[in-house]
Structure 1
Amino acid sequence: MTTHEDVEASAGRKPHKRWHRTKITLGIIIVVVLIVAIIGAITPWPSAMVIRAVFTQGGEATATEMDGHVPDTKLTETLDVAYADDGIDTTMDVFTPASATGALPTIVWIHGGAWISGSKENVDPYMRILAAEGYTTIALNYTLGPEGFYPTAVGQINQALAYINENAADLGVDPTQIVLAGDSAGSQLASQMATLITNPDYAEIMSVTPALMPDQVVATVLNCGVYDLAALAALDGIVGWGLKSSMWAYTGTKTWAEDSSGATMSTVNWVTEDFPTTYISGGNGDALTWLQSIPMSQRLDALGVDVTTQFWPADHEPALPHEYQFHLDMPDAQTALQKTIDFLDEHTR
């Protein structure tokens, strides 16, 4: 059989080395892919870091977009307030109108990022927008996975609520009018905190003593959240891979869907009739709306909880993506913002 080298030799040339270099390169690529696959089967770190990098870029871009919509209202801002002793992970940013002469209804916002990315700075522009409406607004940090495992963040957020309650006068907080709010993973955490506060059986199972009394939490705002981990586990494709990888990184176990992590994070199964009045929203182009937000709103409604929704028809154009509420260049995001403000005004003061 005539080989590539034979053809080169018959032409009076030395065998070309390019083919050998190509084979070596392909071999290296295959080895690298295999190594990455093996490592990825043992630890969630590689996948988590890729997802974090993508989310970080997106979060920063969205915050910049929101910056363009922050009104000129003068605010008093206190940044990087330490609510516990875990460094930057346990800090918060506080915003209040400079004209305020006393305590104000307060929105405590928990940022999203699939539990493994994001920061309070990503939602600070939104906090400034809401503060300009006459609220004290607080954006929280918490430890992300895989640096810390569930339920570390739950305990930290409970510490934050305790700090806010104990330092209400200094922070401009009316401790009788607190709204728990969040986006994406932060929405799951906000729903979890509200459930801990209003369901003693759940708090006992979680071994958490809630920092707030039920009558202190007057409402929740839940945007694009996750409330049913079994439905999350059923997702396929790139979205399913990303969320499953994130959950592994956040919980520290690949079996999160089968053990107490997934069960206790699934607040749809733990909410009661005492859950606070709720505003819940999601975009029609976001799979989580159909798998999570709408079923959660239906569950709360069935329990008799006062629920305000902002959903969109399945064929709405443009299709509204995950966390569309922050893309304030879009008219539909402006609609959601105004509905959020109307909801807050109705259930506070």
Structure 2
Amino acid sequence: MVKLLFKIKADKMRKEWAKNDAIRDKDNVLPESVEVIKDISYGRHGKWNLLDVNRPKSYNGKLPCIVSFHGGGWFYGDKELYRFYAADLAARGFAVINFNYRLCPENAFPSHIEDCNAALTWLCNNAAGFDIDLNRLFFVGDSAGANLVYHYSTLLTNPDFAKLYDFEVPQIKPKAVGLNCGTYNLDEQIKDDMILKAYIQNQKKYAEHIKVQKYVNENFPAVYIMSAPNDFLRAEVEPMIEFFKTKNIPVTSKIYGTKEDPDACHVFHVNLKLAIAKECNDDECNYFKSFC
């Protein structure tokens, strides 16, 4: 029943959000300095398992790499909505992987995590052909995408957590991750949230799988966590900062813009027309470069 009810709601929200995102991206153009290799298949789920590789047209040696996990509440979005953002990051000197994953309620947990793992497995197997340096690997994600970054990074850095899943994770670890306007500890929120119930449809079976905080350890990558005053997930930042500190995980944070600025809102950094988006994306990429 939750799946059926949410499907009706999700279809309406998808149309509304797509209209707003089209307005956001109107007149955007891809940087001339970036090439995009599009629609590479990384898995067996058709259009939902396609990715793009963005990289500068001119570079020397191997490139550091950012993998972008798109947002959209686990039920909305694809790589096309992040194409300008991914190319914008690539113009700063990175290879950027921008990938689709299956969405709920049509595909429930752990489908999203399985697709993240398939995309990263593809990257490990194909990095050399795209001049990508896996020793300089970074993740970014916003909103639900930030949750996927948090979840998947924990899988890569705690074998006990990875044992809960029936797939093998690649032997890689990002140097640092960007958690942007995100939500994190779903086990504390699911009982009152229809979206989470549509995402994690078998709560009994996967009760342990969503207790990510329990499995985060000191091996988790360094964190850049950000938000904005009018982000509806703004309150999640400080508790996560304190949590990472208790695990001795390096954490840097910043809140962008002012309460009086309506553009200082949820996932503002994807709106490339905004000055605070440029500031944020510069800051985050410079943070990543400090690990290169």
On whether the aligned pair clears a TM of 0.5, the verdict is yes
3-state SS of paired residue (2:112): helix
Match of 2:78 among 108, 119, 125: 119
Whether 1:248 and 2:197 are equivalent positions in the alignment is yes
Cα shift at 1:342: 1.4
Structure with greater helix share of residues: 1
* Pairing of 1:198-277 with structure 2 (within 5 A): 198-214=157-173, 217-233=174-190, 244-253=193-202, 256=203, 259=204, 261=206, 263-277=208-222
Partner in structure 2 of residue 15 of structure 1? none
Partner in structure 2 of residue 345 of structure 1? 289
- Equivalent residues of 1:96, 1:172 under 8 A apart: no
Partner Cα separation in structure 2 for residue 161 and residue 64 of structure 1:
31
Partner Cα separation in structure 1 for residue 85 and residue 111 of structure 2:
26
Match of 1:175 among 123, 129, 134: 134
TM-score (structure 1 length as normaliser) = 0.77
* Pairing of 1:43-54 with structure 2 (within 5 A): 43-54=5-16
* Pairing of 1:242-321 with structure 2 (within 5 A): 244-253=193-202, 256=203, 259=204, 261=206, 263-290=208-235, 292-312=236-256, 316-319=259-262, 320-321=264-265
- The verdict on how the C-alpha distance between 1:102 and 1:282 changes in structure 2, with shifts beyond 3 A counting, is same
TM-score (structure 2 length as normaliser) = 0.91
3-state SS of paired residue (1:48): helix
Percent sequence identity is 27
Cα shift at 1:170: 1.4
3-state SS of paired residue (1:205): coil
1:15-36 deviations in Å (ceiling 9; x for gaps): xxxxxxxxxxxxxxxxxxxxxx
Cα shift at 1:316: 3.1
- The verdict on how the C-alpha distance between 1:194 and 1:48 changes in structure 2, with shifts beyond 3 A counting, is same
5+ long unaligned stretches in structure 2:
none
3-state SS of paired residue (1:264): coil
3-state SS of paired residue (1:335): helix
3-state SS of paired residue (1:163): helix
- The verdict on how the C-alpha distance between 1:40 and 1:147 changes in structure 2, with shifts beyond 3 A counting, is closer
- Equivalent residues of 2:85, 2:272 under 8 A apart: no
- Equivalent residues of 1:227, 1:265 under 8 A apart: no
- Equivalent residues of 2:43, 2:119 under 8 A apart: yes
Name the Cα RMSD after superposition: 2.3
Cα shift at 1:212: 3.0
- Equivalent residues of 2:256, 2:280 under 8 A apart: no
Cα shift at 1:197: 0.4
Higher Cα Rg, which structure = 1
- The verdict on how the C-alpha distance between 1:296 and 1:172 changes in structure 2, with shifts beyond 3 A counting, is same
1:210-234 deviations in Å (ceiling 9; x for gaps): 11333xx111111111111245347
5+ long unaligned stretches in structure 1:
1-38, 236-243
Cα shift at 1:288: 1.3
Partner Cα separation in structure 1 for residue 261 and residue 65 of structure 2:
33
- Equivalent residues of 2:2, 2:194 under 8 A apart: no
Partner Cα separation in structure 2 for residue 87 and residue 75 of structure 1:
26
- Equivalent residues of 2:190, 2:197 under 8 A apart: no
Match of 2:109 among 130, 150, 155: 150
- Equivalent residues of 2:134, 2:172 under 8 A apart: no
Match of 1:99 among 58, 65, 83: 58
- Equivalent residues of 2:186, 2:196 under 8 A apart: no
Number of residue pairs matched? 291
Stretches of 4+ moved more than 6 A in 1?
none
Whether 1:325 and 2:274 are equivalent positions in the alignment is no
Partner Cα separation in structure 1 for residue 208 and residue 12 of structure 2:
27
- Equivalent residues of 1:119, 1:141 under 8 A apart: yes
Whether 1:132 and 2:91 are equivalent positions in the alignment is yes
Partner Cα separation in structure 2 for residue 331 and residue 312 of structure 1:
10
Partner Cα separation in structure 2 for residue 284 and residue 79 of structure 1:
35
Partner Cα separation in structure 1 for residue 72 and residue 14 of structure 2:
8
